[in-house]
A and B are shown apart, each in its own frame.
Chain A
Amino acid sequence: EVQLVESGGGLIQPGGSLRLSCTASGFTFSSYAMHWVRQTPGKGLEWVSAISGSGFGTYYADSVKGRFTVSRDNSKNTLFLQMNSLRAEDTAVYYCVKNSSGYYIDYWGHGTLVTVSS
């Protein structure tokens, strides 16, 4: 059974940093691209970042480019999202999401809430 468990969310002041983690199990982690997708009541679901299975390819939404860094440790089946220079508009539930072998995402973690507020 595929499981994705996020951690690292919390309350942080504007300009601060957080590192999200996602521990994966139930599949060959290194074989699949992974994404971070965030959800806010006002903006719905928003793709944030993606990383290839090898970790060599990384991709970012314009809204987070230069501030967020995605990485993975395939030896530990773990995905990361380093978030710097956080803004109020980054407040959201962040989901770790698995890409399928095709052109769709097939599993979502339970999400971790990030609140950026003074």
Chain B
Amino acid sequence: QSVLTQPPSVSAAPGQRVTISCFGSSSNIGNNYVSWYQQLPGTAPKLLIYENNKRPSGIPDRFSGSKSGTSATLGITGLQTGDEADYYCGTWDSNLSAGPLVFGGGTKLTVL
């Protein structure tokens, strides 16, 4: 059971827009930056969004992030088949029984 809650799966057609939610609490998302990671099949996770809404160099502006209260959202526009992957949110948690770094359970994106 992951500390952060994500929907197990989302799907949309090529060219469409999709959002992935991530729910937490005041001990994690509510008081810390959120990051998002993309894991393509058979590969390691890759940083997609950091500090809620910033993109590392090389990440296209089709990917965006936002945070409000104890939840965060990843948005992907102009969906491409190459976007099919698992997406994870992550943040820090002051509740140390959960470990300082916590993640969502992951959301599998299917581009129909």
Interface residues of A (CB under 8 A from B): 35, 37, 43-47, 50, 59, 61-62, 95, 100, 102-111
Across the A-B interface, how many residue pairs have beta carbons closer than 8 Å?
Answer: 61
Q: Give the docked Cα–Cα distance between A111 and B105 (Å).
A: 18
Q: Which residue of B45, B51, B88, B102 is within 8 Å of A47 (Cβ)?
A: B102
Interface residues of B (CB under 8 A from A): 1-2, 32-33, 35, 37, 43-47, 50-51, 56, 88, 90, 92, 97, 99-106
Q: Which residues of B contact A35 (CB under 8 A)?
A: 101
CB of A104 within 8 A of CB of B103, answer no
Q: Which residue of A62, A100, A110 is within 8 Å of B97 (Cβ)?
A: A62
Beyond known contacts A44-B2, A102-B33, A102-B50: 10 more, CB 8 A cutoff: A43-B1, A44-B106, A45-B90, A50-B101, A59-B100, A61-B99, A62-B99, A103-B33, A107-B47, A109-B44
Q: Which of A44, A100, A106 has the most CB of B within 10 A?
A: A44
CB of B51 within 8 A of CB of A45, answer no
Q: Give the docked Cα–Cα distance between A102 and B44 (Å).
A: 21
Q: Contacts A44-B104, A100-B50, A102-B51: A108 and B44 contacting too (C-beta < 8 A)?
A: yes
Q: Which residues of B contact A37 (CB under 8 A)?
A: 101
**In terms of DSSP, what is the predominant structure of the interface of chain A?**
strand
* Minimal Cβ-Cβ distance residue in A for B44: A108
How many Å from the CB of B86 to the closest CB on chain A? 9
* Minimal Cβ-Cβ distance residue in B for A110: B44
Q: Which residues of B contact A50 (CB under 8 A)?
A: 100-101
How many Å from the CB of A58 to the closest CB on chain B? 12
Q: Which residue of B1, B101, B105, B106 is within 8 Å of A105 (Cβ)?
A: B101
Q: Which 6 A-B pairs have the closest CB atoms?
A: A45-B103, A47-B101, A108-B44, A47-B99, A104-B35, A104-B50
How many Å from the CB of A36 to the closest CB on chain B? 10
